[in-house]
Structure 1
Amino acid sequence: METVVGSGAVKSNPARSFRACFIGFFAIVLALGVAGCSGNSPEAMFENYLKRLSNVTEVELDEAAEKPVVPPYPRARDIVLPVDDIRIGVITYLEMTRCGLIAEISSRNSSLGRVQRESGRFLYELNTFRKLSECDARTRGQDEDPEFADKLKSLLQAKADNLPKVFWNATFAAKEFRVFMDTATDPLQRSEAVSVARFERPIRYLASLGARLEEAPSIPPEEFEQHYFELQIDKTGGKIVRALSLSGFYLDRAGELLEQAASTGRMCPMGKKTRRAEYLFNVFVKFYAGEVQPYISQLHQAASPLVESVKLLKEGQRVELPPAFESYYAATLDPAAEQGLWHRFNAALQRHTRAWQSVLKPCGMMPGGPVTPSMSQ
């Protein structure tokens, strides 16, 4: 069964980092029957949230803050690896009947074979490598035709050298993957359902192939192409990357604003709740817990498996990765890169959570506490 992430599809599960702080609180939100801000745009939601925080806390927003530029996925010419053409003479070609490769070689040299897509080229190279390996195993130790055996070993080694490069071109450098990760799109929308399985399944499938290339597994073409079809249906990867950048930016600004409000001590001087603190708590209920947190949870549930599956596929590569891809990966989905979008998103989320705690705790208004919101803002 596919896992679907998005409002209207499944209930939102808060990320582990802030689940402990706010567990049990959403019953309050549901009881209030709060209506969210209009529209489906996460940016509009975040802007509304920030303005309300600023109005209540009287902390001015930094209007000069600019949203970070989202790194585009590298162009094909920057990441496609050159693959050596292996040429053989007519005699060697005819000798390939002994390995059952005449049909494959003829097809590869046809007009269609010369312009086949990256996935088709990979299947051809993998199938050829497997048949050469089987042929080599059958003829090994036989002294009937040592010249043919030498040719076979040479071809087998050349194909073995090419296979990792062809696999790279059929995965991260392929058109399908570039479409999937294209950031020339809107970020993930608030009510947009995301089928995690639809991208996780093909990426993990490809990762499993990369881990056993040397085994030259037999792959049905229909099965392989179906995974590619699932991957290029839309720009889900790009939408998630855009949403991580946008959310990290706004969560960081909101965290900074709340930190400034906490540092003044004006919300609850000497632990005494003020009317302004109650206003702020209502902002927490209606606009953070009611709108921002469900979106962040939705995004986290979609991004986490993307980060993990892309990491697995990257780790399965057996080539020196193009610098353009290394730079892009470090700037976006690499969980080990502190300046990457995924890392910055999680850091901003933690900062934002701690900031709320620093404001609400002195007031005795932590979620699940005795205070009931009574004012609207």
Structure 2
Amino acid sequence: MKIWLVPLLLSLSACSDYNGDKALDKYQSRLANVLELQRANGSLTAPEALIPERDLKQTLPDVRFNLTDAYASRRCGLDTLIGERNSSLGIVYTASKQLSYELRLLQKLEHCLTLSWDDSSLLNQLLQVYEQKQASIGIAFYNMLFTDNTLRKELLGIRKALPLKAAPGFTETWQALTELTLLQQFINEKNWQAASKVDIEQQLQLLYQYNFLARLQYSLRLTAHQLVQLNSLTQNQNSNTLCPNGRDSEQLRILANVFQKYFIGEIQLYSTELSRYQQQLWPLLQQLYQQTPLEQPLQQRFEYSYHSMRNELSQHVKWWQTLNGQCPLQLNGQK
């Protein structure tokens, strides 16, 4: 009989911290108890280390203005930006604030160059600075991607799994990553008007508020690891040991209950949610970090872990399907 993996609307634990790791742990414990086996206790392997920030950060070229004509700088609106950069706060800009400043400066310089100037030397100076700033904007962008504290925390991950379903912060995380990829696109297109309007700090605040990416990568890795342990636990359990000659037993009835309540109701539901998050967020994250030194370690943390989870889950489902076809379990995904 084929097993239909239809998520059940079961009443989950009311505990606010009943996340995927708790469900996986409970399922493995229940399965080990019914099969009268010792559950595996292998620890989760640490992911590949990320390259240190100091080895990724590049020095932004120091381009200075020499605008002796105060009227000219005011007319063009550069005086405010120059004053901002030379302020006590401007001197210690974070990578994200530095990027925002560079984009606003490029947008302002682009506007300045559309005006008519009597002083050709001043115009040439503006053009020279504009070209230099365009050439270095990529450094500012990648410094933000590589060294911003919020992004770094998301990439490193935290040991906290996501809830079984409807994890808060998914929509906000998708929005933040989408805005950052749009920013990347605008920079590649040299659309300084659009790029300067992207509120970088707001997107980073959304990522910081929910830590969704950090929790997703940990959840993917942990789920794959737990499923490996489950498959190791069940690999030698078959109809010869559980239902010789096709006989029914109390053990089989308890197994059927474990399948319905914990596997279908929680584990399969949880893996479906993780797959949905991964499929929508990873392409955005990959776009941001493609062809950078962080692409490969991030691929391992997200994409590799995701495929490992799916493969191990498929193997576990096949075990249930085989057992259901050989023993009187009558598993059909219904209550």
TM-score, length-normalised on structure 1?
0.73
Q: Distance in 1 between matches of 2:243 and 2:320?
A: 14
Name the residue aligned to 1:297: 272
Aligned length: 331
Q: Is the 8 A contact 1:259 1:359 kept in 2?
A: no
Name the residue aligned to 1:362: 326
Identify if the C-alpha distance between structure 1 residues 364 and 34 changes in structure 2 by more than 3 Å, giving closer, same or farther. Answer: farther
Q: Distance in 1 between matches of 2:14 and 2:205?
A: 36
Once structures 1 and 2 are overlaid, which stretch shifts more, 176-185 or 279-288?
Answer: 176-185
Q: Is the 8 A contact 1:59 1:257 kept in 2?
A: yes
Shift of 1:59: 5.2
Identify if the C-alpha distance between structure 1 residues 154 and 351 changes in structure 2 by more than 3 Å, giving closer, same or farther. Answer: farther
Which of 216, 220, 231 aligns to 1:255? It is: 231
TM-score, length-normalised on structure 2?
0.81
**Are 1:266 and 2:266 an aligned pair?**
no
Name the residue aligned to 1:116: 93
Gaps of 5+ in 2: none
SS class of match (2:113): helix
Q: Is the 8 A contact 1:171 1:177 kept in 2?
A: yes
Letter in 2 for 1:240: L
Letter in 2 for 1:87: R
Shift of 1:23: 4.4
Identify if the C-alpha distance between structure 1 residues 152 and 128 changes in structure 2 by more than 3 Å, giving closer, same or farther. Answer: same
Shift of 1:204: 0.5
Name the residue aligned to 1:344: 308
Q: Distance in 2 between matches of 1:98 and 1:152?
A: 13
Q: Deviations over 1:69-92 (max 9, x none)?
A: 245666543433321111343548
Q: Distance in 1 between matches of 2:12 and 2:237?
A: 25
Name the residue aligned to 1:5: none
**Are 1:311 and 2:286 an aligned pair?**
yes
Q: Is the 8 A contact 2:21 2:219 kept in 1?
A: no
Shift of 1:221: 6.5
**Are 1:278 and 2:246 an aligned pair?**
no
SS class of match (2:215): helix
Identify if the C-alpha distance between structure 1 residues 158 and 273 changes in structure 2 by more than 3 Å, giving closer, same or farther. Answer: farther
SS class of match (2:87): coil
Identify if the C-alpha distance between structure 1 residues 313 and 35 changes in structure 2 by more than 3 Å, giving closer, same or farther. Answer: closer
SS class of match (2:64): coil
Once structures 1 and 2 are overlaid, which stretch shifts more, 203-212 or 276-285?
Answer: 276-285
Which of 176, 179, 182 aligns to 1:202? It is: 176
What is the root-mean-square deviation of aligned Cα atoms in Å?
3.6
Shift of 1:156: 1.9
Q: Distance in 1 between matches of 2:112 and 2:266?
A: 62
Shift of 1:313: 2.8
Name the residue aligned to 2:301: 332
Q: Deviations over 1:157-199 (max 9, x none)?
A: 2111211221223345322323444534422245784231111
Q: Which has the larger helix fraction? A: 2
1:1-377 alignment, distance < 5 Å: 21-24=3-6, 26=8, 40=18, 42-58=20-36, 60-63=38-41, 65-70=42-47, 75-91=52-68, 96=73, 99-138=76-115, 147-190=121-164, 193-213=167-187, 214-218=190-194, 223-262=199-238, 265-269=240-244, 272-275=246-249, 276-315=251-290, 321=292, 323=293, 325-333=294-302, 335=303, 340-363=304-327, 365=329, 367-368=331-332
Identify if the C-alpha distance between structure 1 residues 72 and 88 changes in structure 2 by more than 3 Å, giving closer, same or farther. Answer: same
Q: Distance in 1 between matches of 2:296 and 2:219?
A: 19
Q: Is the 8 A contact 2:5 2:268 kept in 1?
A: no
